[in-house]
Each structure stands twice: as C-alpha cells, then as structure tokens.
Amino acid sequence: AYFIPRDKMTARHYIFLSVFFISISVGIYSALNLISGSLGDKLKFYAELDVHSENIKSLFVIGIIKRSLILIMLFFFGKTYFRCSINMYYLNIYLFGFGLYLTTYLISPDMGVRLGAYFLIFDTVIVSRLVLANANTLNRITIVFLFSIVALYKIYTYVIIDTYVYQSIIKQLQLF
C-alpha cells in the first residue's frame, strides 16, 4: 500500500487508479488466455469455477452493497471522521480493495473476492475510528448496529454452506 495516497485523492489519482484497475483486469484476462499446457488448463478451470453460476450477478451486487455500506456510513456520520489525517489513508486503502473487487470479480469470482479480501479488514478499522469520531451516542449505536448486521450476514452465509461443517460450543456442550 506504499503507492496509495495518504491524503485526499485528487481527480488525477482517481484516473490513475481507474487505468490501473482496468490494466489489472485486462492483464489477468490476457494471462489466463496466454498460458498453455497443464498449468494454463488449471488456471482457466480455477478462474472459471464460479463464472457459470446462475447467481453470479446477484452475488456481485450483494458484494457491492456490503462494501458500499462503509461509504454510506461515512457519508452520513463522517463529518468529524476526516479531522484525523490517518483516517483518509485508511479510506484510500479500503477504496483500493473495493476497486480490485469491482474489476476482477466478473473475470473470476474467486479471484475477485480473494484479491479484495486483503483490504476488507480496513472496514473494521474505519468503523471503529468512525465510532470514536462521533460524539453522539445515537450515531455510535447506529454505526455499530449497521456494521453488526453486515458482520452477522457474512457469518450466516458461511455457516449455511454445506462444504463447511461448523460446530458451536452450544452444540458441543449439548445444552439444547
């Protein structure tokens, strides 16, 4: 994240990042088609694993909504958030991960999610700093509530997948 601006980004930064994301997207797509042989077949299989899923577009939109919630909370509750200069840097890193997700998901959902996942931890950092920046208790409760809903949704979507077998402590102790 050395090349990500620490201050407020200008139009030039946004243009540069847009070209960068499009180049990454085209580069990945081209690399998948250029590599041949056994390795090329394996990479294409991996890249196209979820592409033929019937709900890929809805999953993409849900991912955008989950990631946009941070931006919406900043819009409504972030008046004092940007007083601390490091907060802008955290937001820029988060936006970089969001851009990676947007540009690579439709090429390969697994790749898009995994490339963007490295930057998702910053949503927790941004929300915690947003709570600290707000003096209004009702705003703080609203921010924590909204973020908790997203976190619980993420946990729920992983728990219902049959591939993963989760054991809860309640089930282990046989309390219910």
- At 19-48, the pLDDT tens digits run 888 888 788 777 777 777 777 777 777 666
Cut 0.95: pTM above it = no
Token pair for residue 126?
């941004």
For residue 175, pLDDT beyond 60 = no
For residue 169, pLDDT beyond 70 = no
Q: What does pLDDT average to over the chain?
A: 83
HSE on the CB side for 170, CA within 13 Å? Answer: 1
**How far from each other are the two terminal CA atoms of the chain, in whole angstroms?**
47
Q: What percent of the chain has pLDDT over 90?
A: 35
Instruction: Report the range of poorest mean pLDDT among 75-84, 137-146, 165-174.
Output: 165-174
Cα–Cα distance between 73 and 168 in angstroms, integer?
A: 32
Give me the pLDDT at residue 166, please. Answer: 65
For residue 176, pLDDT beyond 60 = no
Closest-CA residue to 5 (of 66, 15, 52, 67): 15
Identify whether the C-beta of residue 118 lies closer than 8 Å to the C-beta of residue 36: no
- Give 72-105 pLDDT, tens digit per residue: 999 999 999 999 989 999 999 999 999 889 888 8
Closest-CA residue to 47 (of 96, 120, 105): 105
Which residue did the predictor score with more confidence, 146 or 12?
A: 146
Token pair for residue 25?
């997207």
Mean pLDDT of all residues in 4-21:
83
Query: How many CB atoms within 10 Å of residue 115?
Result: 19
Burial class from Cβ neighbours inside 10 Å (0-12, 13-18, 19+) for residue 10 reads exposed
Give me the pLDDT at residue 23, please. Answer: 87
Give whole-number Cα distances, 148 to 59, 141, 153, 169, in Å. Answer: 20, 10, 8, 21
Give whole-number Cα distances, 62 to 65, 70, 100, 151, 155, in Å. Answer: 5, 14, 16, 13, 14
Q: Which residue's entry shows tokens 């969001």?
A: 98
For residue 159, pLDDT beyond 90 = no
Give me the pLDDT at residue 1, please. Answer: 66
For residue 59, pLDDT beyond 90 = no
